Structure 1
């Protein structure tokens, strides 16, 4: 019986080729989009799930009261781990300190690489359940040891066995390779951890962190794994006051409160607002999941519309089948078989499309997703997905067509009725309503990105090159290097600073000024710079002057930004005294706010001072009159000559700033692609409907032409119904789009508005797309010879 159903279904597909191509194409594209989004969502939901004990691993993070609001910090002081072990050690299987994953120089003889890794206490490999390819997880117990990822070991040693080989970290720490571990998956918080070295080794070789009782230095990461019998929430409550019990009186004003942040929430729920979890990437999971469902629904709507639109042509078949004894359930089965056959063919095409689209999709989404061909669960999900799609797409046609009464059909008195087209029109409105939502959403996202890009920076990032300094070679010769490069004409200025121009690396709370409320808790970015910093970056003065080597007193001076003036309430800031750690610093200049952090947030009050012990970055301004490539070659040669131990790795400030828009730009591009494909699927449905309508009204059009109707009249007749449906779709979708996008924009402090022209452009575009889709068929019918159409009737 079912073989007969499928045989009949296959014959119907061949008989109605145009109808079949439209259905299969639309459905395969819709399924391909849904599958790509499904793979993306799965990649997001399984982030960090590769770790065996992921549900019992957490970070210790803290809430602080800063500038009148609760701020959440991931950074912790070095003594935190020891304090937790001493007070609540029985609640935890592991408590360990770690640096954040950062870049370091790794060298074997003369060969050097800059790679990212962690300095961590010895339990980290065990906590992360690292798969050891050589050695074992206890390899960090020796102070001068290192564990390498398989890919880094390959890069450093080639095919040679790396075990027990001697190498250097940052040209000062001699270590022996004691283990090789399998590279961690790309969807892991530790994906960039190419090596692990002992925490105590970093402490022994880094003077500024040797005082591990310094509770005021929040620069590190604390990781814990709960004991088997302990509840996460209870353990979190226990450690809440640990920092508060150890800090000085100034730090107590911040009311630090520690808590555990579970690994399972790191990736998707990493945003905090006013001390509480406020989502994160989970919003993108919901967004793209919703888009995937809607796009697939659009493809199913096409199937439903085209199947029910052709109902009159199937009415006689239904009548004969019922007359010879078919039950309604058998007819329902027949039409469901047709739907499942179309879905099966569409699924095969969908898999081909996904395989072809994956490289471009991965590049766009910043992922490394692949189709898990060998996973039975994937095929089970794929088949279930196809079955549900087939049943969903075929449900309405099956129930509708099987309900025809055989007596009326066979007598020739059957008519589909004046309201039979209403469901089809509702579905068309739904299709274009979703498309309009996606188009408006995409335009708003890109406008918000452009709005932030157009924001004044407060400095000039054109031709600004930054390089991180990992040894003291460059700082020790900075004046010589600067003069040599200026004499060569490749730079106009050079400076050093405690952090990059595009980020804040250091903040301080022990800041006071005249009139400050003694109970006020603050945390202000404080950047150490050389005298030439301002001239290098081109900051813009509102009042006062820049740092100068001619004034010895500038070693105890501040240049502050406009936001700092506002925070401190300084009416005449030049000459005012600001105390930092009790030491008096005179304000010599006020600059416009420099946008160093998020382009979507307000600029924080900031202080800049001349510090020789903060030389983490060198910043160079390339001479605009020189060739950029020539200048970089010259800079590279000079840096290598003065610092042979460090590979010269640079970054343009404008490129680094552009990365701040990556996440929003990626969402916008993906949404844009999905919007285009949604419109494509909707247009396929419109084309199929126009094709059917023109075929159905051939006699009417012939009569109209004989009676004198022009080509324009015929085109208008066939097009106006579709245009009306699109206008209705726009009227419904536009307010919804405004509501949802307004809510989305509220996530940003610095945000654009939603201008009227976005809605106007979307509405006009939707109408034009509709006319282009249906006009071809309308004009073809309008030009048809009426004698021929009437004779065929």
Structure 2
């Protein structure tokens, strides 16, 4: 019986090639989008699945309150390690202190490369479940050892055995390669941990880190833990919550609270607002999941409309089958078989579309997703997916077509009924409601990105390049390098800084100033800079002056930004002193010499943080900020800069970043969402138009004789076009009025995630309405004009 159903279904598909192509193509497009979104969601949800014990691994987080606002993050003080080991060691299987992931120059022989990694304690390989390919798992036992990822080992040593060989790090000390481990997969928090150096070595070369052993106020470290098998994450979090407050009264005013943040939530739920967890990328998972469901639904609606549009031609077939004994259930099975065959073909085409578009999709989504050929679970889900889609797409046509009465059909008196077209109209309204909502959402996402991009940056990013010199070789050479670069003709201005222009690496508190309110809890972004910093960045000085070589006292000078001026409540800040109240020897006070315009160094969607730009009197600045010569090409300038750099630092790998590209990267996540939303919107509109095309075809087919009569009575092509179009315009207008409040509610909620956000203007909604109506008229016009041009005699002729 099934074979017979499929044979009939195949004949019907071949008989109506154009409709079959539209049916299969529309479904294939919808299924391809759903497959891509499904693969993306699986990749997001499987982040950190590399770790078998991920449910027991956590990072220690800390919440602190400044002036009524709570900030949460993974920065913790070093004394916490001893407190946890001494009082709570029975809760932890592994406890690992770590530096932040940082770039280092690694050199072996003549090969010098820059790679990212961490300084970590001895238990790190066990906690990270590293798959050691060569050497020993306990590779951090010796202070002068280093563990390398497989790709880094190959880049340094080629085919040589790396174990026991000496690698220079930062072009200083030699470290002995103790182990080579398998590269950690891309969709993993530690995928950029390409080397691991012992924590003890980190302390030995950084005096400030050694001195922080008992400093509860120095929150410059991170800690990873793995709980013992019988420990509960929430219970352990409760135990350690007040350690810092109990052991150090100096920090109690900030109400510090510690907790364990589970690995399974790092990636998808890593956002905190005022001390509360407020989600993260999981919102995009839900968003794209909903989009995928809707696009598949649109494709199924398209199939329904095109199938019912052919109902007049299938009615006699149904009448004959019923008259010779076919039961309604058999007819339903037949039509569902046709649906199944269409969906199978569509799925095959969808897989081809996914394979062809996967590379571009990965580039757009910044993923490394592969097609899961070898995973049985994928094929099981695909089979369920095919049957589900067949049922959804084919159920309404099957029930509708099988309901025809054979007597009415064969006598030629069959009429669909007054409300027979209502379900199809509802489906079209649903299609365009989704499409219009997609249009509005896409426009608002783009508006938000453009709004942030148009925000004043506080400096000129064009022609600005940052060169890293993370090596002690740079110490004492700033003036020399500035002269060399300036005399090369490639650079017109230069400065140095301790933090990147587009990021904040350090924060400080513990300051007092004239007029500071009692109990005020300050928190400043801290950047050490050289002379010419403001000039090299083209920063605007709104009060006072820049650092100058003419004033020896500027070695204790400080520039503040406009936000800091308001934050400190200083009307005339120039000349005021900023004193440190931290430690036994707080050092000399800093004198405010100028106020600079706010510079965006963090998220362009958030308010600028109060910042201090302090003169770099200890030569800590390791980033050169170069403004290139605009009279020459960028490539020529970079080539000259590299030559000068290598003349003085032959052992340091030359690494540079264009600031405009670094700043542009801040919009990457939103731009990816915007581009993907734009693509999905276009596909949703295309699929909706196919459904509208089907309904227009159905109406034109049903009203063939009416159109013929109207033409005989003198109706023009325009009159017929207007008659057929107005109903669809009404449907789309209804869709617009439904979509507008829904999209406003959803997008308003999305915009609340940004402190610096666009205001939704009325014209966005008007644009969506006009666009939807224009698309509708273009789609309907093809069939309407085609029907209007049919010879009236041919339309009125009966068999």
Distance in 1 separating the partners of 2:381 and 2:10: 25
Q: 2:238 — aligned with what?
A: 237
Distance in 1 separating the partners of 2:633 and 2:427: 59
Q: Counterpart of 1:476 in 2: which secondary structure? A: coil
User: Alignment partner for residue 601 of structure 2, among 572, 581, 596?
Assistant: 596
Q: 1:540 — aligned with what?
A: 540
Is residue 679 of structure 1 aligned with residue 685 of structure 2?
yes
Q: 2:275 — aligned with what?
A: 275
Alignment map for 1:351-750 (pairs within 5 Å): 351-581=351-581, 582=586, 583-613=588-618, 614-750=620-756
Shift in Å, 1:274: 1.1
Q: TM-score normalized by structure 1?
A: 0.98
Q: Counterpart of 2:106 in 1: which secondary structure? A: strand
The range that moved more, 141-150 or 343-352, is: 141-150
Post-superposition Cα deviations, 1:514-566, rounded to whole Å, max 9, x if no partner, equal 22223221211121111211111111111111111111111222211111111
* 1:131–1:181 Cα contact (<8 Å) kept: yes
Structure 1 residues 656, 67: CA separation in 2 closer, same or farther (over 3 Å shift)? farther
User: Alignment partner for residue 790 of structure 2, among 765, 779, 784?
Assistant: 784
Shift in Å, 1:204: 1.4
Is residue 224 of structure 1 aligned with residue 230 of structure 2?
no
Is residue 310 of structure 1 aligned with residue 310 of structure 2?
yes
The range that moved more, 422-431 or 129-138, is: 129-138
Shift in Å, 1:214: 2.8
The range that moved more, 688-697 or 511-520, is: 688-697
* 2:271–2:280 Cα contact (<8 Å) kept: yes
Distance in 1 separating the partners of 2:246 and 2:496: 37
Distance in 1 separating the partners of 2:450 and 2:463: 21
Distance in 1 separating the partners of 2:398 and 2:81: 65
Shift in Å, 1:248: 5.7
User: Alignment partner for residue 767 of structure 1, among 769, 773, 778?
Assistant: 773
* 1:557–1:586 Cα contact (<8 Å) kept: yes
Q: Structure 1: any 5+ residue segments left out of the alignment?
A: none
Q: 1:346 — aligned with what?
A: 346
Is residue 299 of structure 1 aligned with residue 299 of structure 2?
yes
* 2:308–2:698 Cα contact (<8 Å) kept: no
Post-superposition Cα deviations, 1:91-112, rounded to whole Å, max 9, x if no partner, equal 0000110112211011101210
Distance in 1 separating the partners of 2:82 and 2:379: 49
Post-superposition Cα deviations, 1:131-173, rounded to whole Å, max 9, x if no partner, equal 2222232122122212211111111111222222221111123
Distance in 2 separating the partners of 1:792 and 1:112: 86
Post-superposition Cα deviations, 1:587-614, rounded to whole Å, max 9, x if no partner, equal 1111111111110111111111102332
Distance in 1 separating the partners of 2:589 and 2:116: 39
The range that moved more, 287-296 or 559-568, is: 559-568
The range that moved more, 186-195 or 515-524, is: 515-524
* 1:68–1:521 Cα contact (<8 Å) kept: no
The range that moved more, 404-413 or 766-775, is: 404-413
Distance in 1 separating the partners of 2:632 and 2:711: 73
Question: RMSD across aligned C-alpha pairs, in angstroms?
Answer: 1.5
Distance in 2 separating the partners of 1:265 and 1:131: 24
* 1:312–1:416 Cα contact (<8 Å) kept: no
Post-superposition Cα deviations, 1:47-99, rounded to whole Å, max 9, x if no partner, equal 00110100000000100012320100211222322321111000000011011
Shift in Å, 1:633: 1.2
* 1:67–1:523 Cα contact (<8 Å) kept: no
The range that moved more, 330-339 or 416-425, is: 330-339
The range that moved more, 369-378 or 609-618, is: 609-618
Shift in Å, 1:231: 0.5
Shift in Å, 1:792: 6.5
Q: How many residues align?
A: 792
* 2:60–2:224 Cα contact (<8 Å) kept: yes
Q: 1:214 — aligned with what?
A: 215
* 2:507–2:523 Cα contact (<8 Å) kept: yes
Is residue 4 of structure 1 aligned with residue 9 of structure 2?
no
Q: Counterpart of 1:528 in 2: which secondary structure? A: strand
Distance in 2 separating the partners of 1:691 and 1:470: 69
The range that moved more, 235-244 or 291-300, is: 235-244
